[in-house]
């Protein structure tokens, strides 16, 4: 990637594990936008700029379903955590995990 003057942009090492999928999390994202912003993404399709969408997605409040699912997916056991809570969180991580290979699963 290059900037407007043609200079090569620095590359950053990103976390390779993706925590969400626009395809598989579409329902959570849609509901969260309605809940937090009152925005019906279907009505804004083709009208909402990608950068604005990404900014709004990143700014969703903790109480939205999308953010709750992300919290479950990214949860890691603290060293002092009780065993029962760990089992519950592992179970929730399995429920909300993204498919390993997107091509193998189909969304209804």
Which of the four pLDDT bands, split at 50, 70 and 90, describes residue 35? very high
Q: What is the pLDDT of residues 55-92, one digit of tens each?
A: 999 999 999 999 999 999 998 877 665 677 788 888 89
Of 6-20, 48-62, 89-103, minimum mean pLDDT range: 6-20
What local confidence, expressed as pLDDT, does residue 17 receive?
74
Q: What share of the chain is helix, strand, coil (3-state, %, to 5)?
A: 40, 0, 55
Tell me the C-alpha to C-alpha distance, in Å, between residue 30 and each of 14, 15, 25, 45.
26, 25, 9, 11
Q: Read off the pTM.
A: 0.64
User: Which residue in this structure is represented by tokens 């955590």?
Assistant: 81
Task: Spell out the domain ranges in the chain.
Answer: 26-96
What local confidence, expressed as pLDDT, does residue 37 receive?
97
Average pLDDT for 8-29: 81
């Amino acid at each position: 990637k290059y900037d407007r003057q043609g200079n090569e942009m620095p590359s950053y090492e990103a976390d390779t594990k993706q925590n969400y999928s626009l395809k598989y999390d579409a329902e959570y994202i849609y509901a969260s936008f309605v809940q937090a912003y009152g925005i019906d993404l279907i009505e804004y399709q083709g009208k909402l700029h990608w950068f604005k969408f990404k900014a709004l997605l990143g700014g969703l409040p903790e109480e939205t379903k999308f953010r709750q699912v992300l919290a479950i997916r990214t949860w890691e056991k603290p060293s002092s955590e009780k065993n029962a809570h760990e089992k519950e969180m592992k179970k929730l991580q399995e429920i909300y995990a993204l498919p390993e290979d997107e091509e193998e699963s189909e969304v209804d």
